Amino acid sequence: MRAQPAVDPNTLSLIFENDLFADTDRNYTNGVAVTWLGGIGQTPDLVLRAARLFPLFPEIGTVRTSYALGQAMYTPSDITLENPPADDRPYAGWLYGSVGLLAETGQRLDRLELTLGVVGPAAGAERTQKRVHEIVGSPRPEGWDTQLKNEPTLLLTYQRSWRSYVARDQLFDTGLGFDLTPHAGGALGNVFTYANFGATARFGWNLPRDYGAPRIQPSLPGSGFFEPEPGFAWYAFAGLEGRTVARNIFLDGNTFENGPSVDKEPLVGDLQFGVAATFDQVRLTYTTVLRTPEFEGRGGSGNFGAVSLSLRF
């Protein structure tokens, strides 16, 4: 890879995903994450050398390091039952931290990420959901005693995105532009094991250079970083992804212990669409996600919304 250019800003992103945007309270019901992405020129030399040795990264481009901390929770369709039906999704929480490498050429983004965490009561999802429901006056979840047992988690993910078609200022010199970004990748670990593929299209004014809105995995890939044009900019986006799923701990249950589980669907699809706006060093996005059924039984599909706020400094 070529030498890193001058230092540019770090990026802090706050991500909130919840099914309250779809007026439901089931399946993937809540996710929060804080991510920190180092700017170009701030990657340690040792990490740069490691990136050059990774065979899937491009030979040219810039390298950034990323860090994340997050929590996700999953519940069955009826949270008022102390003993959820056997054919409904088990209660589960996941607390995790991630470290990653991003290599970007301007038209291609490669991302390698290692995530360590814990599933089960130690993840703190029961406490979080009960406290939030108490504050907002929602029904008290009664079935957390049946949740997955404590299990340490290890997850390795790799994603590649190509900005294969980019057109800017093409529409009568109005400042409008669009691009299309296919992607492919996969995950390996005791949390998720899958292969994924899809594409995202963006259309907007003063289109900033990024790869879509940041999301919590499993999801269509986005980018924590963005390179804004001066002043205000916006774009609308839509994306589609398919996943072939070999392992999903939140459906298959604990790896080494017996417990609640359901029969998962081997093929899962996500459709997402939304809007993003940037003003100088700030980006705000909203995404609606429609997910096909992930398991056989009651209420296997999942719809939710995602909001993210990214700040460059």
Helices (H), the chain: 45-53, 125-136, 249-252
Express each pLDDT in 174-203 by its tens digit.
778 889 999 999 999 999 999 999 999 999
What is the pLDDT at residue 230?
Answer: 82
pLDDT at 151: 98
What is the average per-residue pLDDT within 51-59?
80
Round to whole Å and give the CA distance between 14 and 308: 5
Quick one: tokens of 254? 């604990």
The answer, yes or no, to whether the previous bond of 218 is cis (omega within 30 of 0) is yes
In this predicted structure, the answer to whether residue 253 has a pLDDT above a threshold of 90 is yes
Considering the chain, what percentage of its residues have pLDDT values greater than 90?
A: 70
CA-atom Rg of the chain in angstroms: 20
* Cα(225)–Cα(11) distance, integer angstroms: 6
Q: Which residues contact 46 (CB under 8 A, 6 or more apart)?
A: none
Find the range with the poorest average confidence among 207-211, 269-273, 288-292.
207-211
Residue 231, pLDDT score: 86
Q: Does residue 28 lie within any of the structural domains?
A: yes
- Residues 6 or more apart whose CB falls under 8 angstroms from that of 240 comprise 198, 199, 220, 269, 270, 271, 272
What confidence tier does 2 reach under pLDDT thresholds 50, 70, 90?
very low
Confidence of residue 35 (pLDDT cuts 50, 70, 90): very high
**How confident is the model over 100-115, as pLDDT tens digits?**
999 998 889 999 999 9
Tell whether 287 is covered by a domain: yes
Residue 6 lies in a domain: no
Is the pLDDT score of 229 beyond 90?
A: no
Mean pLDDT of 242-261: 96
Beta bridge partners of 158: 112, 186
Is 232 inside any structural domain? yes
Q: How confident is the model at residue 25 (pLDDT cuts 50, 70, 90)?
A: confident
pLDDT bracket for residue 208 (50, 70, 90): confident
Residue 4 has pLDDT above 60, yes or no: no
**Measured in whole angstroms, how far is the alpha carbon of residue 166 from the centre of its chain?**
24
Of 38-42, 118-122, 309-313, the poorest mean pLDDT is in 38-42
Q: In the chain, at which residue ranges do the beta strands (DSSP E only) sit? A: 11-18, 27-37, 62-75, 92-104, 108-119, 151-162, 165-168, 176-189, 192-205, 232-248, 267-279, 282-291, 302-312
State the pLDDT at residue 57.
86
The confidence score (pLDDT) of residue 168 equals 59
Boundaries of domain holding 98: 11-312
Cα torsion 72, 76, 77, 81: sign: negative
Of 155 and 22, the structure prediction assigns the larger pLDDT to 155
Task: Tell me the whole-structure pTM to 2 decimals.
Answer: 0.93
Summarised one tens digit per residue, pLDDT across range 296-310 is 876 667 899 999 999
**CATH code, domain with 286:** 2.40.128.140
- The per-residue pLDDT of the chain, averaged, comes to 90
Residue 171 confidence (pLDDT) = 55
| Selection from 36, 34, 181 nearest residue 104 by Cα | 181
How many domains would you assign to the chain? 1
The reply to whether 1 falls in a domain is no
- In the prediction, which pLDDT does 7 show? 57
Cβ pair 228, 234 in contact under 8 A: no
State pLDDT tens for residues 144-167.
999 999 999 999 999 999 988 776
For residue 2, tell me if it sits in a domain.
no
For the cut 70, the answer to whether the pLDDT of residue 73 exceeds it is: yes
* The pLDDT of residue 40: 80
The pLDDT value given to residue 3: 47
